[in-house]
Amino acid sequence: MTQTLEPTTGTEPSAARTRVETWLADFEAALAARDVDRAAGLFATTSFWRDLIAFTWNFTTVENRDGVADLARQTRESTGATNSRITEGEEPEEADGVVTAWFRFETAVGRGSGLLRLNDEGAWTFLTTLDELKGHEENQGTNRPRGVEHGAQKDRVTWRERRTAELEGFGRDREPYVVVIGGGQGGIALGARLRQLGVDHVVVDRHARPGDQWRSRYKSLCLHDPVWYDHLPYLPFPRNWPVFAPKDKIGDWLEMYTRVMEVNYWGSTTAKSATWDDAKKEWTVTVDRDGEEVVLHPKQLVFALGVSGKPNIPSIPGQDVFAGEQHHSSQHPGPDAYKDKRVVVIGSNNSAFDICGALWEIGADVTMVQRSSTHIVKSDSLMEIGLGGLYSEQAVEAGVTTHKADTIFASLPYRIMHEFQIPLYQQMAERDKDFYQRLEESGFRHDWGADGSGLFMKYLRRGSGYYIDVGAADLVADGKIPVKHGQVTELTETGVKLANGEELPADLVVYATGYGSMNGLAADIVGDEIADRVGKVWGLGSDTTKDPGPWEGEQRNMWKPTQQEGLWFHGGNLHQSRYYSLYLALQLKARAEGIPTPVYGLQEVHHTS
């Protein structure tokens, strides 16, 4: 979705400005009067209020006047809004009968902002976010830390000494308030937020160095998303950063970032178990830190284990008799050792294509096995049509900051997001129609998602089923990488047998079969009982493949309170990790400070994994 964000000039308030000011004042007054019906009446018949912790201490989207009334009724004793106003320098604008306005407001405990879209009936979409807690603002700008105490001091403690004491003290002379298990980009970004908010935390990862999870992936991997989409909080990539960063470069950036953002990071540390003491309201987390057992007692435990964390390795008869090499895509070292070898890659999504492409380049005889259809979109088309309005050099030049882009994205309710996506993918289909025709003629089974809404909805719903084409799809479309169809029924000593009886000789079999739910990784640490209580992680309840209903309204269990007190999930792509880490960190900070956080609409659990 693109918007013009240039302010208009003139001295008279525009009709759009007057309408927004009136709406904000009416809404504030209705909440102050506890007049739920009046508040709900300010919304259109079909409408969406998405709140990120400002009113609900939850990630919630309510729909229509009934939903608004319910949210307002249940939160009215704890939350209201004051000082609601149009954001300075952001003139509301009107297009196609919809007025769009950026606004700010305050609650009793914090300051927030949002994006409002009014149609002729009232509010159509309304996003509210809590951005900071009063009295606990981040020390930035004029409030930045001094870094030094001038003057003469006996036994002066240096920054380095303080940092070492802090890092080494956990589990010995002090307890972290938060333990984050998983120090990939998600855990690191959250650690940076917690540091800025002054929350005692430690991020643990079984890898030795921050960034190792990217370094350990197959060697040809570069980010599939462009730089404008990928910034980390506080410290954007420099202006000469490549559009698609190679994985080792991202690994190095994450390592540097961890250090300069003063994230408390324990590498070579594997979380073994975590148990919850309901009387003490505290976790006991046992970790193996480089061979030493350390027990931590945090109040809050965050799993940042990776949505693509637990490899799905199929169990196939004959895996024990196959004489060649076999491994999951996450263990694939890259193509170098496989020149002139026969390789069968089982799977037809991102990793399968990247691996097949690199193997073909080095001269391996590679075959892809497709089991179900895949959505493919050309990287250039995705960049220009799908992301360009918000995340591109042109968007930056038009004044769309990363935060603005993230907020616009967040303001689109999941329920109708596909309606915005479908036309974009129709444009891509038209633009690349020759490619799709060749692909179809090659026999490759291609889809556009359950409702034609393409890649991003597939990602949000199931986190799989697509490939952003950076070249390898042409090899398939041109028949240079042959594709076979159907389930693999058996591995023989010399190859792979398909359901139709065909046998594919192989020296190497790669299982590019994706990843399991983060719930499965969590179960290994907290046990099945807690994992089942919390339920499936990720997905929207869209009732499409791998995302069973009922409709959830928000992504299951991500960044928000779960059915297990003190247990949270964080992750996603770099964009989600950047944006939502703020709201997760603020939830943790509020609890650390003893600020009441009554949760509206705690999600029910419909699926265990």
Binding site residues, ligand FAD, CB under 6 A? 181-187, 204-207, 213, 217, 221, 223-225, 270-271, 304-309, 350-351, 521, 525, 571, 573-574
Q: Are strands 503-505 and 495-498 parallel, antiparallel or unpaired?
A: antiparallel
Give the separation between CA 564 and CA 572, rounded to whole angstroms: 21
Cβ burial of 277 (10 Å; 0-12, 13-18, 19+) is: exposed
Output 55 or 214, the one with its CB closest to ligand FAD: 214
| CB closer to ligand FAD out of 68 and 518 | 518
Give the helix ranges, DSSP H, for 111-183. Answer: 159-169
Q: Among residues 40 and 352, whose Cβ is nearest to ligand FAD?
A: 352
Contact 472, 354 (CB under 8 A): yes
- In angstroms, the CA 249 to CA 245 distance is 6
Query: Helix 574-592 and helix 402-410: axis angle, to 10°?
Result: 80
Listed as own residue / partner, the contacts of 142-148 with beta carbons closer than 8 Å and 24 or more positions apart are none
Q: Could you tell me the smallest distance in angstroms from the CB atom of residue 575 to ligand FAD? A: 6
Nearer to ligand FAD, 86 or 574 (CB): 574
Q: Give the nearest distance from C-beta 217 to ligand FAD in angstroms.
A: 5
DSSP calls for 302-371: EE---TT-EE-----TTTTT--SEEEEGGG---SGGGTT-EEEEE--SHHHHHHHHHHHHHT-EEEEEE-
Q: How far is the CB of 463 from ligand FAD (least distance, A)?
A: 8
Instruction: Let me know: does 279 contact 296? Beta carbons within 8 Å.
Output: no
Task: In angstroms, give the least distance from the CB of 307 to ligand FAD.
Answer: 6
CA dist 527 → 524, 533, 566 (Å): 6, 10, 15
561: cis peptide before it, omega within 30°?
Answer: no
Q: List the Cα angle 381/385/389 in 5-degree steps.
A: 135
Write the burial class of residue 174 (CB in 10 Å: 0-12 exposed, 13-18 middle, 19+ buried). exposed
| Secondary structure class of 374 (helix, strand, coil) | strand
Smallest separation, CB 456 to ligand FAD (Å): 12
In whole angstroms, the minimum distance from the beta carbon of 406 to ligand FAD comes to: 13
Residue 103 vs 459, nearer CB to ligand FAD:
459
**Which CB sits closer to ligand FAD, 30 or 574?**
574
Minimum distance from residue 11 beta carbon to ligand FAD (Å): 45
Shortest reach from residue 185's CB to ligand FAD, in Å: 4
CB 42, min distance to ligand FAD, A: 37
| Identity at 398, one-letter amino acid code | A
In a 13 Å sphere around the CA of 406, the CA atoms on its Cβ side amount to 23
